[in-house]
Amino acid sequence: DTAVSQTPKYLVTQMGNDKSIKCEQNLGHDTMYWYKQDSKKFLKIMFSYNNKELIINETVPNRFSPKSPDKAHLNLHINSLELGDSAVYFCASSPPSPRSGGAPDTQYFGPGTRLTVL
């Protein structure tokens, strides 16, 4: 019954390695997101996809490459990991946004993936 799931929950790796985080949602939503939450709990959007197409790319280093094989999945691949990449990464999904002037719909967040780069 999990709405938005992420794997793995914890990821510990060495600097310079390449790793992937997977996200799946079973809510039938069109839009999916990746957020990064730093050690001070500041949550910042990284990417947003709508129906497998990239909508938002928030000046994230190109070592980060999202991939959406279908609208229920949005994976995040990170190349050449750096110490500063250590954070909790959250996937989220939402229904299509209403027309301009309406409130954005609820974003449903996954449980997060804690990435530690040593």
> What is d(CA 81, CA 16) in angstroms, rounded to the nearest whole number?
5
Tell me how far, at minimum, the Cβ of 102 lies from another protein, in Å. 8
Find the part of the chain contacting another protein (CB under 8 A) among 15-23, 61-69, 72-80, 96-104: 96-104
Distances (CA, A) of 18 to 25, 32, 38, 51, 83: 24, 22, 20, 26, 13
The interface mask with another protein, positions 18-57, x = CB under 8 A, is: ----------------------xxxxxx--x-------x-
Residues that bind another protein (CB under 8 A): 4, 40-45, 48, 56, 90, 92, 97, 100-104, 106-107, 109-112
